[in-house]
Structure 1
Amino acid sequence: MPSTPRGLLAATTTGIALVCLGVAAAADTTDTTGPGPSADRRPLAGLRVLLSNDDSMQAAKASNSDGLGLYEIRKALCDAGADVVVMAPWQVQSGKGTAVTNGGTLTLARRAQLPAGYGNDCAGAPSGAPVFGICLSDGPCGPDSPSATPADTVKFALRGGLAAKAGWTGGPDLVVTGINSGPNVSAQVNDSGTVGAAIAAIDQGVPAVAFSSSGDASHTRFPLANYRAHARFAAAFLGGMRERDLFSGRFALKVDYPDVSAGQRAKAPVWTSVGHGQVVWHAYQPKRAGSDSYDITMGVCADRPGDRCTETVKDADSTALLGRGHIAVAPVTADRTYGARADATRELAGVRHYITHDAPRS
């Protein structure tokens, strides 16, 4: 283990045993390098991956909306040879975009007992493959502790957290975010904490890929089958990118996976653009006549057609994913200036060729 914490607390949150660690705890800063090229021929052997999300690391809800996808992709990445460290929000932070916290104290809670079925997934990883949740608290994270945002977790990890808690003085090779509970396409990409965490990584020049999976037809449940299929695809997808030297810190990739929970297969990945239409919309209903309090409600455009729900981008991610059942891949940059020229044209062309011709099919 990389360090001995300043204080230990056995806590139970939604049935989870956790060890809470103060950020200022002493650290072993020994760098880890992973196995040599001849020792392990798995496609991600020796790759150091920071894994975060916006759904938390709790994985306690029956809907599978609070972090189960994180454990599925962690397993797939480790099976492919990666050394994976999780630093994720303590509570669900869906919709937080690129929000950051400007003051206060961050505290890490190391998860001592992982969800059933995932406990031995990364056994033997050089870092020990710890799973941390990060809360906003000057003391141990508790059931009601507010959470760090997705961008907070990545910024903290890259600016000292990984060195202190995993011994990665050189930082990670790649940041992976997700697998999110629900797709992140079209207008709501700006709201996505999963994408926001990836943007926080490329802001620091670290390559990043954000993965999101569709829910079932009810839009309220997120089947294990979708996460599992997406995780297998993600590991193979990243392995192919690594083999071709396509990781870039100049843009992030956003990968959305269709619903396959009824036995259908995902169609081949396609190169897309972020659409401009809405798929999910927010509404605000007064609690009572004349009230200053409003309930926040959400719906999908299938239930509320209209101009804002009409997609106008020809190669939109939402059309490929939701309308045609493809795996939708789109590049995302931190520069939101209208009409800005990409400064990585050759790199983008290489990734696009990979998606179109060589990426795994499902």
Structure 2
Amino acid sequence: MARTLRTTLCTTLRTTLVLAGVTGAVLSSLGAAAGPDDLAATTAAGTSSRASQPLAGLRVLVSNDDSMQAARPSHADGLGLYEIRKALCDAGADVVVMAPWQVQSGKGTAVTNGGTLTLARRTRMPEGYENDCAGTPSGSPVYGICLSAGPCGPDTPSATPADTVKFALRTGLAAKAGWTDGPDLVVTGINSGPNVSAQVNDSGTVGAALAAIDQGVPAVALSSSGDASQTRFPVVNYRAHARFAAAFLAGMRDRNLFTDRFAVKVDHPDVSAGRPAEAPVWTSVGHGQVVWHAYQPQPRSDVDSYDITLGVCPDRPGDPCTETVPDADSTALLKRGHITVAPITADRTYGARTDGARDLARLKHYVTHDAPRS
């Protein structure tokens, strides 16, 4: 609670100082003889600035579980991270990226208990993202974090998503960005593929967000559907989600909805075929399976080995794929095309009560009535 209050106060103070500095400078330049029309024009300019940069003064750590490489033709290795980085900076936020060096999809909340972490700062951004975040106070660096005592190379093992967030909050941001009191918000994603129903337990994107609230920092986990095959992840999906997420976070900030009592999970449907996303809806995490892991024995007789295969779970009544939760995120996202929002907590105690009932109610009202539409 104390960390949340301090975060809110710091964010409000920084925003107030920025706005006060701009308005004060403009009013001073008008002189003592400034009339009502001049003051009205100044007020309008200030309002326009706030509207165009609703996240001004907000410091955001961005991580994911897909890495920061963004090199695969399928866009499954971190391109969504660059779309949300751009959208947040365009809305006025100061963004620092500390993400896994290699793809870490499916790592959940896994952490590394020994060894050495090494940072590799990206100096050349992916094509089309070279000039994003220019002029931010931190310079908005992008770091990949590997598990090595030496430089990160093509085959170097990676830090996990939770590793990157814990390291950033405890050491990395202070050392590399001068954020000695941490960020105001952690954003994880945009993940390549939805994180819904039982797959939420496997998700490194969600795991990284849980690592943030464990440290007392509000967190939002973002995931986007792929195309109809769920093997390619069109830029248009990431871009639509990033645009929505920046506006959604601005609304949360404006209503003081950032909290470390729970993380907020936001999944976006596929819009690559031209169908726009349906309005955001408040959901629960479903209990059914969506992605299915299978284990096929290798034909060799001299080893006891099994190949791991991954596919979409066949939906047959009564099997583990069947969704039984009426307001499940997977149903609203995959079958109805809605943007879905669900609260996620780190408390594994069955039946545990949350002390954030009022926050939940306020966030649900925002999602249901006031959240931006795509």
Q: Normalized against structure 2, the TM-score is what?
A: 0.86
Which residue identity lines up with residue 93 of structure 2 in the other structure?
A: A
Whether the 8 Å CA contact 2:109–2:207 is kept in 1: the answer is yes
For 1:169, the equivalent position in structure 2 comes to 180
Any stretches of 5+ residues in structure 1 without a counterpart?
1-32
- Any idea what SS the aligned residue of 1:288 has? coil
For 1:91, the equivalent position in structure 2 comes to 102
Question: Deviations for 1:162-194, whole angstroms, at most 9, x for unmatched residues?
Answer: 000001011000000000000000001000000
Cα separation, 2, equivalents of 1:127 and 1:48: 9
The aligned runs of 1:305-316 (5 Å cut-off) are 307-316=319-328
1:179 aligns with 2:190: yes
Which residue identity lines up with residue 100 of structure 2 in the other structure?
A: P
For 1:64, the equivalent position in structure 2 comes to 75
1:323 aligns with 2:343: no
Which residue identity lines up with residue 334 of structure 1 in the other structure?
A: A
Question: Deviations for 1:37-70, whole angstroms, at most 9, x for unmatched residues?
Answer: 2445211001000000000000000000000000
After TM superposition, the structure 1 stretch with the greater mean CA deviation from structure 2, 290-299 or 314-323, is 290-299
After TM superposition, the structure 1 stretch with the greater mean CA deviation from structure 2, 33-42 or 53-62, is 33-42
> Quick one: percent identity of the two aligned structures?
82
- Any idea what SS the aligned residue of 1:46 has? coil
Cα separation, 2, equivalents of 1:320 and 1:37: 40
1:303 deviates by 6.9
Cα separation, 2, equivalents of 1:67 and 1:305: 35
Cα separation, 1, equivalents of 2:350 and 2:300: 41
Cα separation, 2, equivalents of 1:305 and 1:149: 36
- Any idea what SS the aligned residue of 1:307 has? coil
1:294 aligns with one of 287, 306, 313: 306
The aligned runs of 1:86-235 (5 Å cut-off) are 86-235=97-246
1:244 deviates by 0.4
- Any idea what SS the aligned residue of 1:282 has? strand
For 1:17, the equivalent position in structure 2 comes to none
1:288 deviates by 1.2
Question: Deviations for 1:89-144, whole angstroms, at most 9, x for unmatched residues?
Answer: 00000000000000000000000010011011100000010000000000110011
Cα separation, 2, equivalents of 1:128 and 1:161: 15
Cα separation, 2, equivalents of 1:180 and 1:219: 12
1:306 deviates by 5.3
**Structure with the higher fraction of residues in helix conformation:** 2
- Any idea what SS the aligned residue of 1:115 has? coil
- Any idea what SS the aligned residue of 1:129 has? coil
Q: Normalized against structure 1, the TM-score is what?
A: 0.89
Cα–Cα, structure 1 residues 334 and 59, in superposed 2: closer, same or farther, change >3 Å?
same
1:341 deviates by 1.1
- Any idea what SS the aligned residue of 1:163 has? helix
1:246 aligns with 2:228: no
Q: Which runs of 4+ in 1 moved over 4 A?
A: 302-306
For 1:283, the equivalent position in structure 2 comes to 294
- Any idea what SS the aligned residue of 1:240 has? helix
1:281 deviates by 0.7
Cα–Cα, structure 1 residues 142 and 301, in superposed 2: closer, same or farther, change >3 Å?
same
Cα separation, 2, equivalents of 1:189 and 1:228: 22
Whether the 8 Å CA contact 2:227–2:234 is kept in 1: the answer is yes
Cα separation, 2, equivalents of 1:37 and 1:232: 24
Which residue identity lines up with residue 260 of structure 1 in the other structure?
A: V
- Any idea what SS the aligned residue of 1:180 has? strand
After TM superposition, the structure 1 stretch with the greater mean CA deviation from structure 2, 336-345 or 133-142, is 336-345
Cα separation, 2, equivalents of 1:296 and 1:55: 19
Cα–Cα, structure 1 residues 304 and 71, in superposed 2: closer, same or farther, change >3 Å?
farther
Which residue identity lines up with residue 79 of structure 1 in the other structure?
A: D
The CA RMSD measured in Å over matched residues stands at 1.4
For 1:30, the equivalent position in structure 2 comes to none
1:77 aligns with 2:78: no
2:19 aligns with one of 37, 42, 54: 37
Question: Deviations for 1:198-229, whole angstroms, at most 9, x for unmatched residues?
Answer: 00000011000000000001110000010000
1:289 deviates by 5.5
Which residue identity lines up with residue 37 of structure 1 in the other structure?
A: L
Cα separation, 1, equivalents of 2:150 and 2:317: 48
Query: Matched residue pairs, number?
Result: 331
Question: Deviations for 1:243-283, whole angstroms, at most 9, x for unmatched residues?
Answer: 00000011000000000001110000000000000000100
Whether the 8 Å CA contact 2:315–2:322 is kept in 1: the answer is no
Cα–Cα, structure 1 residues 303 and 217, in superposed 2: closer, same or farther, change >3 Å?
farther
- Any idea what SS the aligned residue of 1:171 has? coil
Cα separation, 2, equivalents of 1:127 and 1:289: 54
Cα separation, 2, equivalents of 1:270 and 1:108: 38
